[in-house]
Amino acid sequence: MALEGLRCKECGADYPVDARYFCEQCFGPLEVVYDFGALDPAEARRKIQAGSAGIWRYADFLPFAAGPPAERSALEPGLTPLVRADRLAERLGLGEVWVKNDAANPTHSFKDRVVAVAVAKARELDFDTVACASTGNLANAVAAHAAAAGLASYVFVPADLEEQKLLATGVYGTHLVGVRGSYDDVNRLCTELSETRPWAFVNVNLRPYYAEGSKTLAYETIEQLGWELPDRVVCPIASGSLFTRLGRAFREWLDLGLAGGEPPVFNGAQPAGCDPVAEAFAEGRDVCKPQRPDTIAKSLAIGDPADGPYAVELARASGGAIDSVSDAEIRDGIRLLAETTGIFTETAGGVTTAVLAKLAERGAIGADERVVVYITGEGLKTLDAVRDGHSAYEIDATVADFERGVPEPAATGAGA
């Protein structure tokens, strides 16, 4: 039994396994604590490889007392593709680049991982209603997993969210609430509601457990790389939770003898229109100054990131950095990834790919480095971001008109 309880990241105070998210002594954030003293690395690997084809194969490293939770939704995420992106690497002048495509999840984003864990924990703690504050992908995931588990759900989003994400949330029969304001306004409302409603807010009162689901991305990366760590990761930052949990998971398996190599360098990616973590990193500060978002990357538009200071700390400690890119660079990043890998990403992935390109341009990545880029969502969710660049030939249904109106393909080589 590895699960021990909750512990404050700031003062170290311990708490039981229940629905709480901040320390009563110092108001610091809580995280899950495990005891892996009895773990046998070889046996753990065998158990993982014999497990399910999704995140529950890593259940011994998730916040449940004895293996996979008894009650969970039928939508098991995980084991998404890790694609070797040789054409992307060649375009950028890099050696070895891998793309972890987490759009290949039930609701097409990495949020399925955290929600699957949170909903299972909500059922274990006897909640019958789940809720969230979301920039879109989390709303999709909460609505879908609640429906699959037979739970009521409420999802709160900024009212100006992309239409595709609104439609892909409401279809599950959830209570979809558009809030006039930014994500930070939505999150503040949900924090207040969590004090008066007997609901499991997955990213408020269940946040310590919810955040643990992000670790499965790192576990999969290690397993898919032959139980080795990458040299560098490039990852988007919104609240900073994904970024920091990847760091925790890599270190966890390295310390336990489940993975070989050295801790990777961590590079964070933010949109320039909402980059409080990148700004803090550039200015040498530990604390992020809140910002009012103004960016096409709405899924990263969190102006007051809860885990921002820890993301800054991880980037510095690993020898990495946190960069931001403009909306124009985000659009270019979406197209670059699509043209070289066939993967169509939402704007968050455009941010990440654009930061990878920026790192390559300034020579920050060594020629022999193995780099993993995390793509967290599907491009069909943010179609407006690429609408202006769309073009097509229109012809009559004749060969002659085709030959007049459509050019021959340009000569290409294997690496073009």
Judge whether 226 and 260 are in contact, CB under 8 Å: no
At residue 69, φ and ψ (nearest 5 deg) are -60, 145
Q: Are residues 219 and 184 in the same domain?
A: no
* Among 83, 79, 81, 80, CA closest to 52: 79
Expressed as residue numbers, the domain containing 12 is: 1-35
Q: Are residues 195 and 219 in the same domain?
A: no
pLDDT of residue 412: 57
CATH number of the domain within which 170 lies: 3.40.50.1100
Do the bridges between strand 30-34 and strand 14-15 make them parallel or antiparallel, or are there none, so unpaired?
unpaired
Reported pTM: 0.93
Task: Specify the long-range contacts of residues 284-293, CB closer than 8 Å, at least 24 apart.
Answer: 285/312, 286/312, 286/313, 288/312, 290/184, 292/182, 293/182, 293/183
Q: Collapse the DSSP code of 43 into the 3-class scheme (helix H, G, I; strand E, B; otherwise coil) and give the result.
A: helix
Does 415 map to a domain? Answer: no
Q: Collapse the DSSP code of 74 into the 3-class scheme (helix H, G, I; strand E, B; otherwise coil) and give the result.
A: coil
DSSP assignment of 246-271 equals HHHHHHHHHHTTSSBS-PPEEEEEEE
Does 412 map to a domain? Answer: no
Task: Specify the long-range contacts of residues 19-24, CB closer than 8 Å, at least 24 apart.
Answer: 19/125, 19/127, 19/200, 19/205, 19/206, 20/205, 20/208, 21/204, 21/205, 21/206, 21/207, 21/208
Does 29 map to a domain? Answer: yes
DSSP assignment of 327-368 equals HHHHHHHHHHHHHHHS--B-HHHHHHHHHHHHHHHTT-S-TT
**Can you tell me the distance from the alpha carbon of 54 to that of 169, in angstroms, rounded to the nearest whole number?**
23
Q: Are residues 285 and 136 in the same domain?
A: no
Does 298 map to a domain? Answer: yes
pLDDT of residue 166: 92
Does 335 map to a domain? Answer: yes
Q: Are residues 243 and 128 in the same domain?
A: no
pLDDT tens sequence across 80-110: 999 999 999 999 999 999 999 999 999 999 9
Does 393 map to a domain? Answer: no
Q: Are residues 60 and 13 in the same domain?
A: no
Percent helix, percent strand, percent coil in the chain, to nearest 5: 40, 15, 45
pLDDT of residue 416: 44
Q: Are residues 193 and 288 in the same domain?
A: no
The letter for the amino acid at 281 is F
Q: Are residues 8 and 151 in the same domain?
A: no
Q: Are residues 220 and 323 in the same domain?
A: yes
Q: Give the other-Cβ count within 10 Å of 378's Cβ.
A: 24
**Can you tell me the distance from the alpha carbon of 373 to that of 354, in angstroms, rounded to the nearest whole number?**
11
Q: Are residues 177 and 223 in the same domain?
A: no
DSSP assignment of 121-188 equals HHHHTT-SEEEEE-SSHHHHHHHHHHHHHT-EEEEEEETT--HHHHHHHHTTT-EEEEESS-HHHHHH
Question: What residues does 231 pair with on adjacent strands?
Answer: none
* Rg of the chain taking only CA atoms, in angstroms: 21
**Can you tell me the distance from the alpha carbon of 205 to that of 199, in angstroms, rounded to the nearest whole number?**
9
Task: Specify the long-range contacts of residues 174-178, CB closer than 8 Å, at least 24 apart.
Answer: 174/139, 174/142, 174/143, 174/146, 174/147, 176/139, 176/143
Q: Are residues 145 and 176 in the same domain?
A: yes
Q: Are residues 247 and 298 in the same domain?
A: yes
Does 405 map to a domain? Answer: no
**Can you tell me the distance from the alpha carbon of 189 to that of 261, in angstroms, rounded to the nearest whole number?**
44
Q: How many CA atoms lie within 13 A of 351 on its CB side?
A: 33
pLDDT of residue 72: 80
pLDDT tens sequence across 42-65: 999 999 999 999 999 999 999 998
Give 29's DSSP letter: B
- Number of structural domains in the chain: 3
Among 165, 182, 210, where does a domain finish?
210
Q: Are residues 188 and 260 in the same domain?
A: no
pLDDT of residue 414: 47
pLDDT of residue 415: 46
Does 410 map to a domain? Answer: no
Taking only the tens of pLDDT, the chain with its 416 residues reads 589 999 999 999 999 999 999 999 999 999 999 999 999 999 999 999 999 999 999 999 999 987 788 778 789 999 999 999 999 999 999 999 999 999 999 999 999 999 999 999 999 999 999 999 998 899 999 999 999 999 999 999 999 988 889 999 999 999 999 999 999 999 999 999 999 999 999 999 999 999 999 999 999 999 999 999 999 999 999 999 999 999 999 999 999 999 999 999 999 999 999 999 999 999 999 989 999 999 999 999 999 999 999 999 999 999 999 999 999 999 999 999 999 999 999 999 999 999 999 999 999 999 999 999 999 999 999 988 998 878 899 989 999 999 999 999 876 554 44
pLDDT of residue 1: 56
Judge whether 188 and 158 are in contact, CB under 8 Å: no
Question: What residues does 377 pair with on adjacent strands?
Answer: 109
